[in-house]
Structure 1
Amino acid sequence: MKPRRNHGESAAPQAFSRQRPHRVAEFEENQMLTNHRSSTSKTLRAGIAALLIAGIAAGVTACAPSSAAAPAKPAVQQALDQAVAGGLPGAVAEVHDSAGTWWGRAGLADAGTGRLPMRGDQFRVGSITKAFTAAAVLRLVEAGVLNLDDTVTKWLPGVVRGNGNDGAAITVRHLLNQTSGLANPSVDDQEMLNNFSGKDYMQHRFDNLGAEDIVRITMKYPPYYAPGAGWRYSNTNYFLLGMIIEKATGRGYADEIQRLVIDPLGLADTYVAGPEFEVRGPHGRLYSKLWSADPDAPVYDVTDMNPSWAGAAGAIVSTTADLSRFVTAMAGGELLPPALHELMWTTVSTDGAGWIPQTRYGSGGVFEQRLPCGVTVYGTGGAVQGGFTYAMASRDGGHTLVTTVNGDWNNPIGALLAITSAEFCPTI
């Protein structure tokens, strides 16, 4: 594919270093825990400091309830402000509980124009897509189209084999709960790591790399363990689930997610991104340092990308309101019968696997996390280059918080955890 030049570039401060982009990267939660090797460059500090200060000040008064009147959320707002004060460009949160809906913001959606985050902005949700994929798979299980004990080979003969990989031993159940043992080329393959996560990202983010390509790269590596013998996060599990959905139904992955998940829940601003490189609706910008170890690393606008390789593992675009609706349904059991809902939330330990601490992973692209205060929340999370998102809920789905930031340095996971804790942890 020929390089695309200056596609989708918006105004930005002179301080932002710009390169002509070429390819896509989608970050799953496993990469959230790789070294956050970055810090704000001296030029960047000078270029956007005034805008960030203005954005923080605006955020203090930007909290606005939507449908029903809701009390202010000073602890959540303070956590949003602290995320931006710590160096992230912008942060937003939406809370739904028995009192109604609250939405708050801090910092900037666009450092080039000074645009503030707006409720209704769309953003790339990264690996939250996996929960949509899993919900569709479980609905197909309910309909008798798929069986949890179906093997990969049954639906995709010859696709998973070689180097100790055996699709006849891996089931749909293994793929759902990340116990297949398959390697994760997003972190195991150095070329993919460079091209889709690191130093060469700006030269590759518009290239095509489909699910079949990812699976072929995965087959270069032996499995971590025998199927069912451990837990290890791998995007390949969900690429395979997307391929199985298509093979079992005879319809495209995006069509099935729309039919089985998006339409039933009324998620009007959510879609599976196709070949288009830009987000369709109103949106802010995403900023990245490409995980550089250089303390003076430049910041790049990485908003536009080719989502072809993210697919069933990370291609969905949504809003805070739609994700709140989605996580309510996932936690509360709205889409699935009781037995499959219970299966989705039957979790396995992630200890020792280099993933998010204090978590257990379910069979639906979802996880539970014990917050530092001891409270456990339930939901899903994801990231793309330049953006991190959490969508968490109480166990019954009656209390939710969705929060997202538009930068990938200065410990964005820590910021999301602090914002989530500010809402769910009791205060003295």
Structure 2
Amino acid sequence: MDGVHRAGVPGVYAEVRDAGRTWRGASGVADVRTGRPVTPDMRQRVGSITKTFTAAAVMQQVEQGRIQLDAPIGGYLPQLVPGERGKKITVRMLLNNTSGLPDYIRYAFPSLQDMSPKSLDDNRFRQFRPAELIKMGVDAPPAGEPGATPGVYSNTNYLLLGQLLEQVTGTTAEKYITRNVIERAGLRHTGFPARPRIEGPHSRMYESLWGLNDPPRDYSVYNMSWTGTGAALVSTMEDLNRFYGKLLDGKIVNQASLAQMQRTVPVVALDGSLIEYGLGLHKVAIRDCGTFWGHDGTVWGAGTMSLTRADGERQLSVALNLQRWNKPDSSGKPQHHPIDAALKSLYRQVMCGDANAQAEKAHNMSPSTSVTSRPAAAASTPDGWGAHTGR
């Protein structure tokens, strides 16, 4: 972790669990101006890790018979996905990102298409409505045919799932997820933010936006209505490890639902990488180290990844307070940065043991960081598995 900090991340903090033992650590600063240090218990905007919580809530409603996985979303929300499209796209397709609905982020933040950070500042305190964002995705050119693989990662899918939860439960999706997922898991520091400022101890969150913000800009104060049930949660590394441990142990959804969540298909992440995606879960197979389940995510200035080995015995949840540090070369391709190598070493050591002895065995490890698998944070927009926006 010190290596990640020395490579250029202001602050990094994590919790690792291994066969009943727990390690927590932090390196660097939470505020580059004052030098205030990061600590392992800080709260973080965890981006698309939120998607696992939303998917678990949907599966609970599947268990109760209120939602059918293979029913068309147009039967539940005809006003949001009308016509033939609504008849072809199923709930399962929304969950595993094979709906063909494109991501709305580029339309909510139009300056990104011109490689400008203007939209990020313009939207800092803007209150988006879910239906407004969903319409941006539904009205945009399709990313693919419903049900076709590889799927295309899209935050539009998970805002629709939030609206579906509201339709069948009679309460807001945020309230349902809080009562039936967050509280059921016994999480004490996890929740949807009620205002732009995070409550409790947290770091500032620095967004480089591929060098367009120089120096990186602090977006720790931000209205998260732009991502809602797709990527708005605030949590701690301890809470994330607890949540995924309980989920994979069948304590949040039943074993039949968990088996459905772990049925993966190939999906193109927002950073262009190909990932194995289930129903709100990523599958990461690391040669000679095991199979891990979890998610990653980024929002403006904050990147997080949480992985749990299939046997539940080894877990990592790690947070970074800098995102999109890879500046493009003359052709527009993101350049390699020392942070990338430092993160790869950290992941190898945590997941496989000794970093040097296992380097060759783990060379194909996928997680980075996005909307969000990859080395933590080279996404096209916030959040992905490695670096996606709103992932």
Shorter-chain TM range is 0.7 to 0.9
In structure 2, the CA distance between the partners of 1:92 and 1:356, relative to structure 1 (3 Å rule), is farther
Secondary structure of the equivalent of 1:116? coil
Q: Distance in 2 between matches of 1:197 and 1:220?
A: 23
Instruction: Tell me which of 382, 404, 410 is aligned to 2:297.
Output: 382
Output one character per residue of 1:100-136: Cα deviation in whole Å (capped at 9) or x when no partner. Answer: 1101111111112211112321111010000000000
Task: After TM superposition, list the pairs within 5 Å mapping 1:9-408 onto structure 2.
Answer: 80-161=1-82, 166-187=85-106, 191=110, 193=112, 198-230=117-149, 231-274=151-194, 276-293=195-212, 297-350=214-267, 355=271, 357=273, 359-363=275-279, 365-371=280-286, 375-408=290-323
**Aligned-pair CA distance for 1:222:** 2.7
Correspondence for 1:422 among 349, 354, 358: 349
Q: Distance in 2 between matches of 1:197 and 1:264?
A: 42
1:324 shift after superposition: 0.7
Equivalent AA in structure 1 for residue 242 of structure 2? R
Query: Whose relative contact order is higher, 1 or 2, with alpha carbons under 8 Å and at least 6 apart?
Result: 1
Instruction: For residues 238-281 of structure 1, give each alpha carbon's deviation from its aligned partner in whole angstroms, at most 9, with x where no partner exists.
Output: 0000000001111011110111101111101101123x110011
Unaligned 5+ runs, structure 2: 327-336, 358-391
CA distance in 2, matches of 1:354, 1:135: 22
Contact 1:185 1:192 in 2 (8 A): no
Deviations 1:378-419 (A, max 9, x none): 111101111110100110222211011100115666655442
Shift of 1:196: 11
> Whole-Å Cα distance in 2 between the matches of residues 98 and 403 of structure 1?
18
CA distance, structure 1, for counterparts of residue 183 and residue 25 of structure 2: 27
- Secondary structure of the residue that 2:238 maps to in structure 1? helix
Structure 2 Cα separation of the partners of residues 255 and 415 of structure 1 = 39
Inter-partner Cα distance in structure 2 for 1:331 and 1:399: 12
Cα offset, 1:220, TM superposition: 2.4
CA distance in structure 2 between the partners assigned to 1:308 and 1:195 by the alignment: 23
1:184-240: CA deviation from partner (whole Å, max 9, x where unpaired): 121467717469983431232111122111111112223222211121000000000
Distance verdict in 2 for CA 1:197–1:277, change over 3 Å: farther
For residues 15-52 of structure 1, give each alpha carbon's deviation from its aligned partner in whole angstroms, at most 9, with x where no partner exists: xxxxxxxxxxxxxxxxxxxxxxxxxxxxxxxxxxxxxx
The total of aligned residue pairs comes to 342
Report the CA distance shift for 1:357/1:413 in structure 2 as closer, same or farther (over 3 A): farther
SS at match of 2:8: coil
Q: Distance in 1 between matches of 2:140 and 2:74?
A: 18
What CA distance in whole angstroms lies between the structure 1 residues aligned with 2:134 and 2:90? 16
- Rg: which structure is higher? 1
Task: Please give the per-residue CA displacement for 1:43-76, whole angstroms capped at 9, x wherever unaligned.
Answer: xxxxxxxxxxxxxxxxxxxxxxxxxxxxxxxxxx
**Conserved in 2, the CA contact under 8 Å of 1:403 and 1:419?**
no
Between 234-243 and 84-93, report the one with greater CA deviation: 84-93
TM-score (normalised: structure 2): 0.81
Asked if the contact 1:210/1:311 (under 8 Å) is kept, the reply is: no
Are the counterparts in 2 of residues 127 and 381 from structure 1 also a CA contact under 8 Å? Answer: yes
State the TM-score, normalizing by the size of structure 1: 0.75
Q: Supply the AA of the counterpart residue of 2:313.
A: G
The runs of 5 or more residues in structure 1 that have no matched partner are: 1-79
Q: Distance in 1 between matches of 2:169 and 2:115?
A: 30
User: Is the contact made by 2:306 and 2:316 (CA closer than 8 Å) also made in structure 1?
Assistant: yes
Q: 1:344 to 1:104 in 2, by over 3 A?
A: same
Q: Which SS does the other structure have where 2:159 is aligned?
A: helix
Instruction: Tell me the distance in 2 between the aligned counterparts of 1:417 and 1:340.
Output: 32
- Pairwise CA RMSD of aligned residues? 2.4
Against the structure 1 CA distance between its residues 402 and 195, is the aligned structure 2 distance closer, same or farther, given a 3 Å change threshold? farther
Contact 1:198–1:292 (CA<8 Å) still a contact in 2?
no
How far the C-alpha of 1:334 sits from its partner, in A, is: 2.1
Paired with 1:237 and 1:124, the residues of 2 have a C-alpha distance of: 20
Q: Secondary structure at the match of 1:84?
A: helix
Distance in structure 2 (CA, Å) of the matches to 1:359 and 1:221: 23
Report the Cα distance in structure 1 between the residues aligned to 2:232 and 2:26, rounded to whole angstroms: 24
Distance 1:133 1:105 in 2: 29
Secondary structure, counterpart of 2:234 in structure 1: strand
SS of equivalent to 1:219: helix
Taking a change above 3 Å as real, the CA distance of residues 316 and 103 of structure 1, as seen in their structure-2 partners, is same
User: Take 1:145 and 1:361, find their aligned partners in 2: how far apart are those partners?
Assistant: 24
Q: Deviations over 1:347-395 (max 9, x none)?
A: 1123x666574631111x2101234776432111101111110100110
CA displacement 1:59-99 (0-9 Å, x = unmatched): xxxxxxxxxxxxxxxxxxxxx11111111111111011224
Distance 1:130 1:106, change over 3 A: same
CA distance in 2 between counterparts of 1:373 and 1:399 reads 14
**1:426: Cα distance to partner?**
3.9
